[in-house]
Structure 1
Amino acid sequence: MRMVTRVREGEGEGPSSPPVYDSRVTTAQPTPATVLAALKSPKLLTVEILGGLVTAFALIPESLSFAIVAGLDPKMGLYAAFTMACVTALLGGRPGMVSGAAGSIALVIFPVARDHGVEFLVATVILGGILQVIMGALGVAKLMRFIPRSVMTGFVDALAILIFTAQLDNLIDVPWAVYPLVIVGLLVIVGFPKITTRIPAPLASILLITLAVVVFAIDVPTVGDQGELPESFPGFGIPDVPFTLDTLSIIAPYALALALVGLMESLLTAKLVDDLTDTHSDKTRETFGQGIANIVTGFVGGMGGCAMIGQTMINVKQAGARTRISSFLAGAFLIILSVTLSDIVGKIPMAALVAVMIVVAVTTFDWNSVRTLRVMPLSETCVLVVTVIATVITDNLAVGVILGVLTAMVAFSRRVAHLTHVEATGEGTYRVEGQLFFASSNDLVYQFDYAGDPDQVSIDFSATTVWDSSTVAALQGVREQYARRGKTVTFTGLDATSQGYIDRLEGKL
């Protein structure tokens, strides 16, 4: 089991509390509190370097594939993975998290490339990064606190399912030799840590299977089959588009979508890594880091990106890396290997990477969420299921999370509304209990005996709070019902918030 040290911030500033042990991961090594601690320890530094290397291997084929999905030159995916990984490692708020060219971003930007060309796409990426920086300044990251646990659990489970289903293309209609190679890869990843933990099991699996394929000349799909690797490092350039309002009107909607989808996936991934490592990260800093990374990516001709959840799990959960070193090296190794060792990297069998991703999917899935479905409240179960189904059907984590949050809001509103009730405490006196808002105040006007009450009626609101204009309108309706019968009603016990709403809105709705 690996020792995990709780720290206050992403890099562990300040004293840490006593270590706890986490059996969910396979690599046994203590968690370094800082980059400096890793640099001072050859053992920890080795873990960070090897973590970056194995993550780079996993980044290459997906970066190529996602660029192809977006209808782009495959090199644009690799350039994006390089800059996103390196820049967010330096400027982001979640050490150990890996960013790159993501599938969700590919889906968002595909229409721009198809309808307007690569130059407009690059401009879209730059504008998307600028919007993310603005969102960071506005504190958008703080909205993460409104995502309930059931949505987070659904997000994790859907993520695991998507990681697994993404491998099916490499398992269907392929040479029969792929299947035993995948099985061998799985066995190595599971069994290798029992022999030694000095080398990450995924890296050992990739090296072993690649060696077997090369030595025995096994004809199976390889990384080189996914697309052409670049022959040079990326250069800086300004997109060749007219700087006009027409251009802005074309790219702005896609840039906003890129910014929102990228931030949502990145912040959710950061929260997931927080939970896995029992540490806290700076979400606002991560928002700025993602924005600056996309700006840089656009200027070097990349397709844009966000946090790569599968590769992050490889880096953090499988390899045991914890600091910015591994994240930075993942990007650095990717571009160095792609440019200088393209012939060798191109020979890596896809079966080796499929085995790694299958293990990531299985270990990422929250199996406890299935076991606890019977005892969970029905509303939370519905939220989890909606999040998972919506994500899997749309193949978009952002859509799933948004629908999950909306479902949770509706479920919460219904639950709280049912806790609101009106009690008659005497002749012409009432007491309202519970929270009054749009969902609970609709029936408020029907809770009083307008005909039978005396001329003077008192309603006590000391056990409730008025939260919106819908409630003020309902209370106005109560006054009007009594007024039609020549009676007066007095509201007592109103707190400052409730009285403020009534003073501002009564008679104006």
Structure 2
Amino acid sequence: MSQNNSSQTKFNLKRYLDEFNPWHNIKIMHTNVPNDILSGITIAVIAMPLALAFGVASGLGAEAGMWAAICGGILVGLFGGSHTGVSGPTGPKVVQLAAIIAATKLVSGEPDIGFAMSMVFLSGLVCIVLALMKIGRFIYYTPYSVVSGFMCGIGVIIILLEIPPMLGFATPNSVIGAIKQIPYDIMHEKPHALIVSLATFFTILLWPRITKKQWLPAPLLGLIVGTSIAHLFHFNDIEYIASMPVGMPHLYWPDFTRFGDMIGGAFALAGLCIFDSLLTCLVADNMTNERHNSDREIFGQGIANMACGVVGGVTTATATMRTVANIKCGGKTGLASIVHGLVLLALMLGLAPYASFIPMACLAGILLKVGMDIIDYRVLPVLHRMPFMDSICFWAVLILTISVDLLVAMGVGITIAFVRIVQELGQAYEQNVVNLNEVNRPLPGDVPMPEELKKKVLKLRLEGPLFFGVSDTIYRASSALVDYKYLIIRMARVPMVDMSGAYLLDDIVEKAHQQGAIVFFTGLKPQVERTLERLRIFENVADGNCLETFNDAILRIQEIEGTLSAQQTECETRLSQV
């Protein structure tokens, strides 16, 4: 018997781990090879200026963004859960990492790269653990007001951080720093930097309106235009990207000697990676009419981020712009993402020195457009018409995202939405507790009852999950009803019950017994009945009083009343004979 259990456990474990097997992605890569290759090359062209810009924005240098794009493209293409998703550095994750790097700089003022890379590696490990715990499905429970507030907040952060470099000054370390710095920068702006950044920005803005061609993406054209203006007019007074090393990356082996200092940041990066990635996967699902595997996507992101920590890349997540471009260009499998990563790898192995010709103001113009694209313009026209609680949730997430922390904002937003839902569910139970004497007409199929018997029966009808959020409402409503002899608790529409709900029922039964009443349960679902049995709720309920239907309870009450009436008659007869 134990051998059978062991073999069954091994079989289930193999099936459980098989979900994360890269073969799921590899076996379909031959189905769309020409389009995937062309799409991968196009995405690489789009990704290169973004990767350079995000690397600089993180504080680790342009090459860090490139290595992150390479790791994300190749590894998530193999292990990810979305066939069309393309990973690399993203605005939200770079903002988060930049804040962590700024807070952990060395005494010399230089970034503590070893510490940062170990944290990135650890964040990937956290993602893998969370993927194995199957938490991916919870992305579908995120309220839209939280998502919208989060995206608008990220867009505002990127815009504020890129205004100083557009004017020719260094990128601030924080949003508050940017707000304080912007007035001075505007008063002392450098005209050449502003010309380059605005030329880049308006090229990206106008190019899609001029042509629908996909062979020359707007970010690449903006990079070409901004860089060309800087060199044609000899703008030597503005900053350019520092030269990047050519060849294989420097390796950073994880060092967890400061584990306590980095675990919080690692969880923050992992949480944002999951949220950012799965939101983009939802967008891809809507465009392709497919459904991604959330847990496999988180697993792939974990592998990619661990690799980033080793090769010195910023963190990765599934990137919305690159994913949408991939779908528009005909990419349908992970091959497109892998090709995009290989193209960027070729650039780093031989063409990286050419990045030193790119002005920093040019990258600022690109990121300004990225920030504007992230903002949720769907919700902006209806801000003044949003439901009250949705409005509170949206503004709380938006303000906290900008001023405090991205994960704190998400946590607060989800908490507000959760409290709202619990409150509404609690209110929905208020009208489900009645005395049968108050029912004007019986439902079809109900057993008729004499009017004098109806006065003695209280019906407690519960609908929906019986959990902590509704227990107080039900108890207060049931406590208001007195002078009953029988209590029927109808639970046919209760799919689950938690400990709070179970002990609520126990309290109601005890209160009924104190009034000398008899309690019946009807319509218990098997899983609910098992929970109540394990918690010993039925110990105070007479045997045979857990029935299938309401009519069974009525018949049982009439039977009890008939027995009591017969006993009373017999007693009166004996007394008369005496």
Query: TM-score normalized by structure 2?
Result: 0.69
Q: Counterparts in 2 of 1:426-445, with a 5 A limit?
A: 426=437, 427=455, 428-435=457-464, 436-445=466-475
CA positional deviation for 1:144:
1.7
- Partners of 2:288 and 2:237 in 1: how far apart? 37
CA positional deviation for 1:223:
4.3
Structure 1 residue 143 corresponds to structure 2 residue 138: yes
Aligned to 1:155: 150
Structure 1 residue 212 corresponds to structure 2 residue 201: no
Q: Counterparts in 2 of 1:288-437, with a 5 A limit?
A: 288-300=299-311, 302-303=312-313, 305-307=315-317, 309=319, 312=322, 315-316=325-326, 324=334, 327-328=337-338, 330-334=340-344, 336-337=346-347, 340-373=350-383, 375-396=385-406, 398-421=407-430, 422-426=433-437, 427=455, 428-435=457-464, 436-437=466-467
| Aligned residue type for 1:182 | S
| Aligned residue type for 1:201 | A
Q: Deviations over 1:400-457 (max 9, x none)?
A: 3332222221111111111102222222322324333212111333324678413333
CA positional deviation for 1:279:
4.2
- Partners of 2:327 and 2:191 in 1: how far apart? 30
Segment of structure 1 superposing worse, 285-294 or 330-339: 330-339
Structure 1's 320 and 156: CA in aligned 2 closer, same or farther, altered over 3 A? Answer: farther
More helix by share: 2
Structure 1 residue 274 corresponds to structure 2 residue 279: no
CA positional deviation for 1:480:
2.7
Q: Deviations over 1:249-296 (max 9, x none)?
A: 565555444433332322223323433555433322222211222232
Q: In terms of Rg, which structure is larger?
A: 2
Would you say how many aligned residue pairs link Structure 1 and Structure 2?
465
The 8 Å contact of residues 49 and 219 in structure 2, kept in 1 or not, is answered as: no
Q: Which runs of 5+ in 2 are unaligned?
A: 1-21, 168-184, 438-454, 540-578
**Identical counterparts, % of pairs:** 21
Query: TM-score normalized by structure 1?
Result: 0.77
Q: Counterparts in 2 of 1:21-32, with a 5 A limit?
A: none
- Partners of 1:317 and 1:360 in 2: how far apart? 18
The 8 Å contact of residues 397 and 413 in structure 2, kept in 1 or not, is answered as: yes
| Aligned residue type for 2:161 | A
Aligned to 1:229: 244
- Partners of 2:517 and 2:69 in 1: how far apart? 72
- Partners of 1:89 and 1:63 in 2: how far apart? 21
Aligned to 1:177: 192
State the SS of the aligned residue for 1:490.
Answer: strand
State the SS of the aligned residue for 2:280.
Answer: helix
Structure 1's 200 and 253: CA in aligned 2 closer, same or farther, altered over 3 A? Answer: closer
Q: 1:90 aligns with which of 78, 81, 94?
A: 78
Aligned to 1:29: none
- Partners of 2:327 and 2:371 in 1: how far apart? 11
State the SS of the aligned residue for 2:81.
Answer: coil
State the SS of the aligned residue for 1:489.
Answer: strand
Structure 1's 160 and 147: CA in aligned 2 closer, same or farther, altered over 3 A? Answer: same
- Partners of 1:140 and 1:504 in 2: how far apart? 27
- Partners of 2:481 and 2:423 in 1: how far apart? 30
The 8 Å contact of residues 451 and 485 in structure 1, kept in 2 or not, is answered as: no
- Partners of 2:304 and 2:424 in 1: how far apart? 42
Query: What is the RMSD computed on CA atoms of the aligned residues?
Result: 3.8
Aligned to 1:59: 51
The 8 Å contact of residues 122 and 298 in structure 1, kept in 2 or not, is answered as: yes
